[in-house]
Every structure is written in C-alpha cells, then in structure tokens.
Chains A and B, each alone.
Chain A
Amino acid sequence: GAVVSQHPSWVICKSGTSVKIECRSLDFQATTMFWYRQFPKQSLMLMATSNEGSKATYEQGVEKDKFLINHASLTLSTLTVTSAHPEDSSFYICSASSSSSSFNYGYTFGSGTRLTVV
C-alpha cells in the first residue's frame, strides 16, 4: 500500500532557530500533500494544503511566513518552522494523496514529527 515517510520523528531545537520537516511519498506520486498540527489528546488541525509546483494554500490563522511549505517534486514536501518559539511545540503530521480519485480510499499519513522548542 501507499507509504508516506516523515522525518525527523522528533526534534528539539532552541528558541529562535528554524526546523525543517520532510514528508516523502515512497511508492506513489503525491500531487497534493496536507500539513496538520496536533496538540496532546486533541484532533488534527489542518495548517495548509500543498500542491506540487505551486504555492501552498494556508488555513485561516496560520502564518505563511512562519510555516514555510515547499512541494518542489511529486514525492517530497517540506515544512519549515522559522524562528521557532516554545508555543510552536507540537506534533506535526503530513498526509498525501496521489489524485482526487484516491480520496475515497483515504489519505495516507506520515508518522508525525514531535517538535519541542526550548
């Protein structure tokens, strides 16, 4: 089945530094990738939709200059948290779809990245 690899699985960084999270589709081409944020024991909140070769679409309230998304190829999307602060600490998850027709079969999610900013 479809596999999405997310890296790193956890990262600790100092306040003010930037962190890059990678999301790769291993056995299919992902035309669309989604980035979510999840707080402990809460649901997933969509941050942005990333389409290959175009600018990401951000949800209301998500700072696009702080959460930089790049989807330069059909198998890789990256999320960069710039000038991270402790309030950015969270669990970040990506998901991918190969095409609209695969939606009814569910999206494949990465295993998540636990970001801790100290």
Chain B
Amino acid sequence: TQLLEQSPQFLSIQEGENLTVYCNSSSVFSSLQWYRQEPGEGPVLLVTVVTGGEVKKLKRLTFQFGDARKDSSLHITAAQPGDTGLYLCAGALEGSNYKLTFGKGTLLTVNP
C-alpha cells in the first residue's frame, strides 16, 4: 500500500498550459515537501509546507497543504519546457523520526 498517492503519474502538456499534481494520504504528516528531479540527478527541494491550509508560491508554482495535513497539491501556471522533470512529494509521518516517504512521482513533459 502506497502511503502517499501521487497523481497523475505521467503528464504531457503544451507550453502555456496549466497543470495540477496531487499528493494524497489517509495519514497525517508533520510536514510535506515537494522536490523536482532531473534525469541522472538527485532531487532538489522546491518547498516545504508545514501548517494545515498553508499556501506557498514560488514564481509560477503554487503549493497547498490540506487543512488536515493529509494532502497537498502543486499547481503550475503557464508551464514552460524548462518545467519538464519528475516531481516528487515526500512527507514524514508524525513520530517517524523524520524518515521521508516519497510518492511515486509525476513525470511532467512540457512540449514547446
């Protein structure tokens, strides 16, 4: 059973379109993080959300943490080819000694 359900797994869109990636769980997380990974590289942190209901913006990226701290979303506005990559959500369960659990990832391709 996947603790963090991430959807969609694959997404191919045209430049300029908007998209949303979802990360859902039945468990409560002390915080949740979003990473972006390029082929052959390690993940790079985009954002950490800590408070239920929190919304954070990073240029064209908007991250939201659910009120109950069980889910999160990543919305990209006007996607660009440079946004192409694997997007991963990850969280640590309360009491897990800060051990990260990753979602399966969303492979995003933005076509010019």
Contact = CB atoms under 8 A, between A and B. Distances in A.
Q: Do A and B come from one complex?
A: yes
Interface of A: 4, 6, 32, 34, 41-46, 49, 91, 93, 95, 97, 100, 103-112, 114
Nearest first, the 4 A-B pairs at minimum CB distance are A109-B42, A106-B45, A43-B105, A103-B98
Contacts of B40: 91, 112, 114
Interface of B: 6, 31, 33, 35, 40-45, 48, 50, 86, 88, 90, 92, 97-105, 107
B46 to A, nearest CB: 9
Nearest to A45: B102
Contacts of A91: 40
Contacts, number: 60
Contacts of B107: 41
A14 B98 CA distance: 36
Contacts of A93: 42-43
A104 B50 contact: yes
Contacts of A100: 98
A46 B105 contact: no
A114 B45 CA distance: 21
Given A34-B99, A104-B31, A106-B48, A111 B42 contact: yes
28 contacts: A6-B42, A32-B98, A34-B99, A41-B105, A41-B107, A42-B104, A42-B105, A43-B6, A43-B88, A43-B103, A44-B102, A46-B102, A49-B97, A49-B99, A91-B40, A93-B42, A93-B43, A95-B42, A95-B100, A97-B98, A104-B31, A105-B48, A106-B33, A109-B42, A109-B43, A109-B44, A111-B41, A112-B41
Most buried by A among B41, B43, B101: B43
A41 B40 CA distance: 11
Contacts of B50: 104
Contacts of A114: 40
